Copies of this chain bind each other. A is one copy, B any other.
Amino acid sequence: MSVSEFESLENTLEKHIPHDELKEVKRILFGKEPKKLALPACAVEAALERDFELQGYLFEASPEQLRPPRIVRIGLIQNRIVLPTDAPVLDQINALHNRIGEMVEAAAMCGVNIVCFQEAWTMPFAFCTREKEPWTEFAESAEGGYTTQFCKKLAQKYNMVVISPILEREETNNVLWNTAVVVSNSGNVLGKTRKNHIPRVGDFNESTYYMEGNTGHRVFQTQFGKIAVNICYGRHHPLNWFMYSMNGAEIIFNPSATVGGLSEPMWSIEARNAAIANHCFTCGINRVGTEHFNNEFTSGDGKKAHQDLGHFYGSSYVAAPDGSRSPGLSRTRDGLLVTEMDLNLTRQISDKWSFKMTGRYAEYAEELTRTTREDFKPNIIKE
């Protein structure tokens, strides 16, 4: 399937549309164009050698009199799995550790301060199968598991905050969660945050494996800015983004795993809308490739059993509070997207557009409370 996959929307536009019109097309579609970031030759070379795409962009803010710029570089990593899904579990994990390790090394060359991996990055997205074994063996302790140990080493070595979304096993009671571990650049685990909304759509049978998160909308104060993690299906819920923002998030990461047939036209809309509506930066990350499973499974759509979930279309991108966005990474290749932003832009855009001030939240809190009561009567006017 991946042979025939369309590589990149942005490349096609650039290739065919004449310069003057292209400028308008890009302005309307993507907003103010972020500058390209000059990346060091060693990183460019590493990306070439290690066969992944490397792109860099810059979101600027206006100079202020009382605050210095608050510059941060973030890295988003998208990748395919390395070994077949029937390789031994530990081999699969180690192969992914190695792959991510070499990509993070390139991120470090680019001066990245915060890196985020894709959802459930240590494993194939096997929840489509509804099989418990061997997939639950990929679950690890958030605080002290094998992968968290690995991330702590990366964090310390590169002075980098590492966001590591994994399948979590709470070892005291064997409850599983879909969790992002946030490792500080000191090498300590800063905390964890769990996926708040679990899909009930298509082959995303995740509700078979884990429940809605119980960690609310916590925000992590890092040395480089206040960040939050809205995992995958949570991007469809505007209230989820909103509540991270109300707790002060300046950058909200959205590590995901989603396929072309299901969600692609929504992909460029949802995280971007959240950046606009909440005056913050948002980062969509999606894996790439098609993952094949040994046992066939059906999709509840009347079609024949098959052995894959579809094509994960990558297209990871960063959206800015001013309505602009970076180009997406490719739909087909592993990639590292490096973005530098001045976080002062979030308050500047808030002061310009004032959505938080004009939000009338007290009224909405009352209305929303009413809608959740069993005796709620919708406000409908009839003739």
User: How far is B219's CA from A238's CA once the two chains are assembled, in angstroms?
Assistant: 21
Contact stretch, chosen from A14-22, A104-112, A120-128: A14-22
On whether the beta carbons of B323 and A31 are closer than 8 Å, the reply is: no
The size of the chain A interface, using a CB distance under 8 A, is: 83
On whether the beta carbons of B277 and A237 are closer than 8 Å, the reply is: yes
CB-nearest residue of chain B relative to A263?
Answer: B323
Q: Does A88 belong to the interface (CB within 8 Å)?
A: no
On whether the beta carbons of B276 and A236 are closer than 8 Å, the reply is: yes
A383 CB contact (under 8 Å) in B31, B186, B268: B186
- Shortest distance in angstroms between A193's beta carbon and chain B's nearest beta carbon? 9
On whether the beta carbons of B355 and A247 are closer than 8 Å, the reply is: no
On whether the beta carbons of B201 and A236 are closer than 8 Å, the reply is: no
**Most chain B beta-carbon contacts within 10 A, residue among A191, A243, A380:** A380
- Counted per complex, copies of this chain come to 2
Contact stretch, chosen from A41-49, A73-81, A137-145, A363-371: A363-371
Complex interface: chain B residues within 8 A of A218 (CB):
379-381
- Shortest distance in angstroms between A149's beta carbon and chain B's nearest beta carbon? 18
On whether the beta carbons of A216 and B367 are closer than 8 Å, the reply is: yes
For the complex of A and B, list the 9 residue pairs with the smallest distance between their C-beta atoms, beginning with the closest: A31-B265, A238-B238, A273-B273, A6-B24, A265-B323, A365-B369, A247-B378, A365-B368, A266-B323
On whether the beta carbons of B381 and A221 are closer than 8 Å, the reply is: yes
Complex interface: chain B residues within 8 A of A269 (CB):
269, 272-273, 276, 323
Q: Does A358 belong to the interface (CB within 8 Å)?
A: yes
User: How far is B238's CA from A357's CA once the two chains are assembled, in angstroms?
Assistant: 14
User: How far is B210's CA from A215's CA once the two chains are assembled, in angstroms?
Assistant: 41
Q: Does A359 belong to the interface (CB within 8 Å)?
A: yes
Inter-chain pairs besides A31-B266, A221-B381, A270-B277, 11 sampled, C-beta below 8 Å: A12-B17, A30-B265, A199-B358, A219-B379, A221-B382, A238-B273, A239-B364, A270-B276, A364-B368, A365-B368, A369-B369
Q: Does A292 belong to the interface (CB within 8 Å)?
A: no
On whether the beta carbons of B264 and A381 are closer than 8 Å, the reply is: no
- Shortest distance in angstroms between A240's beta carbon and chain B's nearest beta carbon? 8
Q: Does A200 belong to the interface (CB within 8 Å)?
A: yes
On whether the beta carbons of A201 and B359 are closer than 8 Å, the reply is: no
A353 CB contact (under 8 Å) in B31, B236, B242, B365: B236
User: How far is B6's CA from A381's CA once the two chains are assembled, in angstroms?
Assistant: 41
On whether the beta carbons of B357 and A200 are closer than 8 Å, the reply is: yes
Q: Does A25 belong to the interface (CB within 8 Å)?
A: yes
Q: List which A248-293 residues lie within 8 A (CB) of chain B.
A: 248, 263-266, 268-270, 272-273, 276-277
How would residues 185 to 201 of chain A score, 1 for a CB under 8 Å from any chain B CB and 0 otherwise? Answer: 01010110000111111
A/B interface sample: 24 pairs, CB < 8 A: A9-B24, A12-B25, A16-B21, A30-B265, A197-B360, A199-B358, A201-B352, A219-B379, A219-B381, A220-B380, A221-B382, A221-B383, A236-B353, A238-B239, A247-B378, A247-B379, A266-B276, A266-B323, A270-B277, A361-B371, A361-B372, A364-B368, A365-B372, A369-B369
Chain A interfacial positions (CB closer than 8 Å to B): 6, 9, 12-13, 16-18, 21, 24-25, 27-32, 182, 184, 186, 188, 190-191, 196-202, 212, 216-221, 226, 233, 236-239, 242-243, 246-248, 263-266, 268-270, 272-273, 276-277, 323-324, 352-355, 357-362, 364-365, 367-369, 371-372, 378-383
Complex interface: chain B residues within 8 A of A248 (CB):
378, 380
Complex interface: chain B residues within 8 A of A212 (CB):
358, 360
On whether the beta carbons of A190 and B265 are closer than 8 Å, the reply is: no
- Shortest distance in angstroms between A249's beta carbon and chain B's nearest beta carbon? 9
On whether the beta carbons of A21 and B12 are closer than 8 Å, the reply is: yes
CB-nearest residue of chain B relative to A265?
Answer: B31
